[in-house]
Chain A
């Protein structure tokens, strides 16, 4: 379990990192390393140059804009999990981060790294797709923005430019009144999930549902959103939630592997999506308006 040898650079600015990326077609960005280093150790990945972005100061910031919370590429999962701004404005991500790996991997792993790695069972990617996060890559001197719902195209496959460096991920802020739910089923704590689901309901000031987002992960090649817009016409009762989710999930392609059948994953994901929606609804029905 020793990686193939490689060169190592430690740029101080994003521009410098992009120059290095452009100079070597077999270069990889190293952020927290919690996915990349195992792949190096197993020699599944054999880059000739690693570009360590941990020393680029701008990348460790969490910034609030009018509409989004932008998480820099080097923000570690443990930092994001404890960040008040994220708890307040992206509560769904806060909930999901509890399920990401375990304390030692969260202490090193980054939010952006998980998205760039694009593991089909990654919780952070599921939240990004569910909420429609904006993923920004720097290529040369230009920023390219990708909608998370179109970013993931296969297991560990994204539409990211090969010579680009992820700089930030912007998650839309919730409305003032909002409920969230996140659930997953895994063989044991901190293991890869067999099925996962995330839900967020934004309400208007009168308590009517304004937007409803539900996503499922770990059951196909990448996380996907369920089309549940029909629920906006209902009062979010249990029967409508179950019926809408069960219809929507038939559209999702699921995969078999030695851990679980496609049929089982789909059934569990539907159940979790219902539970996530119910939790999101009940959070608001119980809590008074802010």
Chain B
């Protein structure tokens, strides 16, 4: 569509000059406060209608962030934009109660049933109209959005809007820098980065960062009285075939409850050594997330599959090695492709392949596509997405998988959008199956299963009206296959043309230290409760145990605390797990001296392996643990630390 085809992005205005903000907000069900009565006990499912509607929590940060930009630059305007049914104007009023701005509600029956692609397109059309109507054609603006919404948790819409508008996206933004020029801080691979957009507009997606602004009573009253701009699909010149259900490229085919996989039966160890050994054994055996075991291999027979072509995996590198998630996906792609007699392709972008080709072939690739250009040395999603989408359009694989890593989550939505394909984010299961609907059977399609509504339900999704079925997959879901050096494969080098000014952002500084560590990033989390009797004991036992266990399992580790322990001053608030603290889902959760109150359990029940140590054999924590050990922490703790030491590894 040429609707509002805008001039190319321009340079960033000088210090203090206005920079307008478009804040994307969304009304979502409140999944952090699920009342018990929202569960249908007969069916074991969640009744979405029983949840409160709220402003997506991360969008609050976007509102706050935008305010800090406009407050520093007089003359800057703010427009809050949302899409939804008429009652979604509540979230616009909520925003205006926190910081001044205009509200635009994109509402039309035609938008119903939109997936992320159709949503992104519709919102991009509205952004173009906002540029004309509110900013008088000025391109000096930023689009600010929460990184993801709690209901879908997909983080796809902002990058896809950026793709539609052909602008850069800066993800994982934490704060604007106060002093001009216009820089933002973000959590990058190497730590906290200061990133400078070299042209506007730019899409900024925020991860939780600021202390969000409150609603003012008087502003709330005032917001109730001003009129919200209601825009229809036609009024933003959105093409009817690209919006709503018609424009969608994915479709939910099944919803089911994840609870069945959450039951735990505690196996008690008799000694600290045995407990550590059991943790390690389970860690090595089990997939990181509790997924249903893979079913039997698919049998195609003589039927005609709905899709043909290779299964591709995007390969992520970390220095000169390949990330585990990419190798694991290669293994999975192999299993998906074999019953269909298809080949597996590994897609690498960068300045050159180096010596990685053999390893990729050994792990299951039949073809390695190495897309090479000096500019691809920089981890800027827009240019990588552009070249990947180019070969997807050209070679038409039937599926493409990305790791749901920070890079994958930025890249995949843009690739999917640019190649007109559907994408399912954050999958925890992938399998080939048939789908029969209204008498018609689609043979051998990729069924993509992911958690939704904050992990409270599972959804199986299939791709529609796309050449390639695309998905991002959570790290740790699939095991890394053993490499086979005898495998043979082909290496295909591709050398795209990129204009020298292809990149619209530059990293101006990186602080290597203190990538604001969050307990949610740890794969091994050792948590202490009131069974630890002092801060000294907490420090003396938890940190060494977390360090030793982490080293032994080869995974990042950290320490956390129950509310009681935090209140008693053993640890800071940022380490609190539970209803009022953080919800964590590490692969290993070790609970020391934690009684297992419901409030705590609700914050850790999605962990992979739960091991508990408590003096009281009837402590409730054991009902929520896979492994247990009864005893006093003060006595057992040092033995646990010793048992977890890497040097003791050979003994098991």
Tell whether A pairs with B.
no
User: Which B positions have Cβ atoms within 8 angstroms of A?
Assistant: none
